[in-house]
Amino acid sequence: MNTDALPVGTVVENHGALFDVLIDGRVVKCSLRGRLKPARPGKDKRRQVAPIAAGDRVEVALLDDGRGVIERVLPRESDLSRRAAGSEPLQHTLVANVDQAVIVFAVAEPRCDFYMLDRFLVAAVAGGLERIICFNKCDLVPPEQRDAQFGLYAGIGFHVLCTSAHSGEGVEALREAMQDRRSVICGPSGVGKSSLLNAIAPGLRLRIGDVGDVTHKGRHTTSSITLVELPCGGWVADTPGLRQLGFWEAEQEHIAAAFPELQPHLGRCHFSNCSHRDDPGCALSAAVEAGEISVRRVKSYVQIMGGAR
């Protein structure tokens, strides 16, 4: 068989042994060729739990009955993975080939937990994703108050959007930011992620709630992830497992990248083992005193570094 001519599609859903593959706007039910090798990004040698994840680009042999057989997985550009439980470290890829994380927090109801937001930023960096911070429920807080409380992140240089799924403010900007891109949407529950996705893509069948999940202890139950194709182009993966974003192992360089404004001050403390908690000669404390950086962000940095590898 001439495999050069096989159509290429994107895996949108994984039902165990069967996969939904989007090929030219059509979903084809596919099984897997027997001895298919797992796709590994670059020189990654970690062993995979499963050979195929949502987001994978695959070559499909179409059968006469309308079904297909996945013949080959194209190399991954990126993957969001967690380490599967067990004695041997196995990698469980949740979604492949994602470009960006859309990190949604509400400006109120629920109150924005900035420490958690910082952790999401670190996790997105660790996953190799670009970051968009979306402050939703803008309608609940007057603009002046918004800038005072949430302006920090835009000031640091993050890509920040203020949206309201209710009033429609910022929804067009969010749509543009997600257009033709492959996103994961994440953030705590109740901040309006589903509402925003519905505003961006009205009428979409968001199968939230019927997907499997990763338990808090990191155990893996059935974890089926669905990609939703956006009418404006691109897709978004939305699952409870991704929302928590707790599964990436952050390294110090990832943490540093999520705190760019602290970089000029790091390594300048009097003591090389400075805890940055009011130690004498602490360069971070001095920068806080001088109003150059936020004490809250320094605390967040210290906290996250404390739990890093």
**Given the rule CB under 6 A, which of 133-141, 174-182, 254-262, 265-273 is the region that contacts ligand GDP?**
133-141
Query: DSSP labels for 68-83?
Result: EEEEEEPPPS-EEEEE
Q: Which stretch binds Zn ion (CB under 5 A): 86-94, 102-110, 111-119, 261-269?
A: 261-269
Partner interacting with residue 269 (select from ligand GDP, Zn ion, none; CB below 5-8 Å by kind): Zn ion
Q: Residue 115 is which amino acid?
A: Y
Rounded distance between C-alpha atoms, residue 30 and residue 50, angstroms: 15
Identified binder of ligand GDP from the candidate list 194, 224, 244, 294, rule CB under 6 A: 194
**Minimum CB distance to ligand GDP, residue 189 (Å):** 4
Q: What backbone phi and psi angles, to 5 degrees, belong to 201?
A: -135, 75
Q: Closest residue to ligand GDP, Cβ-based?
A: 192
213 interacts with ligand GDP by CB under 6 A: no
Which of ligand GDP, Zn ion, none is residue 140 near (CB under 5 to 8 Å by kind)? ligand GDP
- Tokens 């996103």 appear where? 183
Residue with Cβ nearer ligand GDP (164 or 285)? 164
How many residues bind to ligand GDP according to rule CB under 6 A? 14
Q: Can you tell me which of 89, 190, 233, 281 binds ligand GDP, judged by CB under 6 A?
A: 190
Is residue 197 close enough to count as binding Zn ion by CB under 5 A?
A: no
As a whole number of Å, the CA-based R_g of the chain is 21
CB of 76 to ligand GDP, least distance (A): 28
Applying CB under 6 A, which part among 3-11, 75-83, 118-126, 192-200 lies near ligand GDP?
Answer: 192-200
Helix extents (H) in the chain: 114-126, 143-156, 171-178, 193-200, 240-244, 252-258, 283-289, 295-306
| Part of the chain binding Zn ion (CB under 5 A), chosen from 59-67, 173-181, 182-190, 262-270 | 262-270
287 part of the interface to Zn ion, by CB under 5 A = no
| Assigned token pair, 225 | 């992830």
Measured from the CB atom, is 22 or 208 closer to ligand GDP? 208
Q: Is 136 one of the binding residues for ligand GDP (CB under 6 A)?
A: yes
Contacting ligand GDP (CB under 6 A), which of 77, 99, 130, 139?
139
Residue 117, class by beta-carbon neighbours within 10 Å (0-12 exposed, 13-18 middle, 19+ buried)? buried
Binding-site partner at residue 294 among ligand GDP, Zn ion, none, CB < 5 to 8 Å by type: none
Sheet holding 100-106, edge to edge: 159-162, 130-136, 100-106, 181-186, 234-237, 227-229
Residue with tokens 């001519």: 5
Can you tell me the distance from the alpha carbon of 114 to that of 303, in angstroms, rounded to the nearest whole number? Answer: 12
Instruction: Give 125 or 141: the residue with its C-beta nearer to ligand GDP.
Output: 141
Q: Are strands 159-162 and 130-136 parallel, antiparallel or unpaired?
A: parallel
d(CA 306, CA 309): 9
Identified binder of ligand GDP from the candidate list 137, 254, 265, 297, rule CB under 6 A: 137
Number of shown-chain residues binding Zn ion (CB under 5 A): 5
**Nearest residue to 200 via CA among 224, 181, 214:** 181
| List of residues contacting ligand GDP (CB under 6 A) | 136-137, 139-140, 164-166, 189-195
